[in-house]
Amino acid sequence: MLKLERLIQTTDLNPTLNPFFSRSVTFYESFILNDDGTTYRILTSRGQCFTRILDRFGTQIWHATFNFTDNVVDDVDVAGVELALYNSVRIFLQGLPNLRSLSIIISGNQRVDPHNMTENFKQLLKTCPLPPLNHLIFLNMKNVPNPLQTGLLNHYSTHLKTLSFQNNLWRPSFPPDANIIMKESRLEELKAFIYCSPDLLSLQGSSLPLKCLHLRWIQPSDLDMIVGTLATFSNTLRHLKIEFRGAKMHNFEKFTGILNLPHLETIKISALHSHLSNIDFLSGCPALKELEVDMWEPCTKTTNPHVIQFNEHVGLMKHSNIWGILRSLEKIRIGTVTKVNDGGFSNNLGQIWKENRYEYLRP
Whether residue 302 lies inside any domain: the answer is: yes
Instruction: Spell out the SS3 assignment of the chain.
Output: CHHHHHHHHCCCCCCCCCCCCCCEEEEEEECEECCCCCCEECCCHHHHHHHHHHHHHHHHCCEEEEEEEECCCCCCCHHHHHHHHHHHHHHHHHCCCCCCEEEEEEEECCCCCCCCCCHHHHHHHHHCCCCCCCCCCEEEEECCCCCHHHHHHHHHCCCCCEEEEECCCCCCCCCCCHHHHCCCCCCCEEEEECCCHHHHHHHHCCCCCCCEEEEEEECHHHHHHHHHHHHCCCCCCCEEEEEECCCCHHHHHCCCCCCCCCCCCEEEEEECCCCCCCCHHHHHCCCCCEEEEEEECCCCCCCCCCCCCCHHHHHHHHHCCHHHHCCCCCEEEEEEEEECCCCCEECCCCCEEEEEEEEEECC
* pLDDT tens readout for residues 160-219: 999 998 887 666 777 766 666 667 788 899 998 876 677 777 787 778 899 999 988 777
Domain coverage including residue 150: 1-170
Query: Would you place residue 33 in the very low, low, confident or very high pLDDT band (cuts 50, 70, 90)?
Result: low
Q: Are residues 136 and 222 in the same domain?
A: no
29-38, 54-63, 215-224, 308-317: range with highest mean pLDDT: 54-63
Domain total of the chain:
2
Q: Are residues 28 and 155 in the same domain?
A: yes
Domain end marker among 170, 188, 214: 170
* pLDDT surpassing 50 at residue 5: no
Q: Are residues 239 and 320 in the same domain?
A: yes
Q: Are residues 115 and 212 in the same domain?
A: no
Using a pLDDT cut of 90, give the percent of the chain over it. Answer: 30
State residue 56's pLDDT score: 85
Domain end marker among 170, 185, 214: 170
Domain end marker among 170, 193, 226: 170
State residue 11's pLDDT score: 40
Q: Are residues 141 and 208 in the same domain?
A: no
* pLDDT tens readout for residues 118-164: 788 889 999 999 999 999 999 999 988 888 988 998 899 888 999 99
Whether residue 178 lies inside any domain: the answer is: no
Q: Are residues 241 and 350 in the same domain?
A: yes
Q: Are residues 142 and 210 in the same domain?
A: no
Q: Are residues 101 and 228 in the same domain?
A: no
What is the average pLDDT value for the chain, to the nearest integer? Answer: 78
Whether residue 145 lies inside any domain: the answer is: yes
* pLDDT tens readout for residues 105-124: 988 765 555 667 778 888 99
Q: Are residues 230 and 129 in the same domain?
A: no
Q: What is the pTM of this model?
A: 0.83
Q: Are residues 21 and 113 in the same domain?
A: yes
Round to whole Å and give the CA distance between 331 and 336: 17
Whether residue 288 lies inside any domain: the answer is: yes
* pLDDT surpassing 90 at residue 8: no
Q: Are residues 165 and 218 in the same domain?
A: no
Q: Are residues 282 and 333 in the same domain?
A: yes
State residue 79's pLDDT score: 66
Whether residue 83 lies inside any domain: the answer is: yes
State residue 213's pLDDT score: 93
Which is higher by pLDDT, 20 or 92? 92
Are the C-beta atoms of 323 and 339 separated by less than 8 Å? no
Q: Average pLDDT in the 295-304 region?
A: 59
State residue 270's pLDDT score: 87
